[in-house]
Amino acid sequence: MGMEQVGHNFMTGQLEDVVQWARRRSMWPAAFGLACCAIEMMAAGGAHYDLGRYGMEVFRASPRQADLMIVAGRVSQKMAPVLRQVYDQMVEPKWVISMGVCASSGGMFNNYAIVQGVDQIVPVDVYIPGCPPGPETLMHGILNLHEMVRTGEIMKRRSANNGGAGIEIANVLPADSAPTPVTVSIADHSSSTLAV
């Protein structure tokens, strides 16, 4: 955080790597187990698979303390606003894994009750197929995400499409503030500048 305004040089290049390493190595998931996928997600935290190997064993009950949301299971229309609220309460930088086909696309529940893809509600970084995905498939997705965090690929993607949590920064600023471009810092690289 706060790295975006710093111009790149020898020092900051290394510093960024350190930050990315740190983010990757202590990604704390918010528990968002919704259905059968959650059982596999729990198994992934257990001794046989041991997410602790990646520093991820602490599933936080509070979104304030989590930076990764694993949406494990089908999201009903009634659950959708709750999910979005939990996501909004998480602090930046934050990531979302859509675990299993129900979360990713509604899966076989192609009906009125189920959200047809959780990416209609929150920005998803990694989709994991399977019904349910096994712990190893989940870990494939997690490692996939780790790799993208390490290389900064996710940040590039977000800045490219002005993504992120969609925080309205314009409302925060005082109305008479100087009309200088303000960089929106939603964990992105300096490209999404807004003239306010």
**Which residues make up the interface to another protein (CB under 8 A)?**
47-50, 53, 101, 104-108, 110, 117, 119, 125-131, 133-134, 136-137, 139-141, 143-144, 148, 153
Q: How far is the CB of 142 from another protein (least distance, A)?
A: 9
141: nearest Cα among 41, 32, 48? 41
Euclidean distance between CA atoms 145 and 165, whole angstroms = 17
Q: How far is the CB of 84 from another protein (least distance, A)?
A: 19
Contact 125, 23 (CB under 8 A): no
SS3 per-residue string spanning 142-182: HHHHHHHHHHCHHHHHHHHCCCCCCCCCCCCCCCCCCCCEE
Instruction: CB nearer to another protein: give 134 or 152.
Output: 134
Q: How far is the CB of 70 from another protein (least distance, A)?
A: 12
Q: How far is the CB of 163 from another protein (least distance, A)?
A: 13
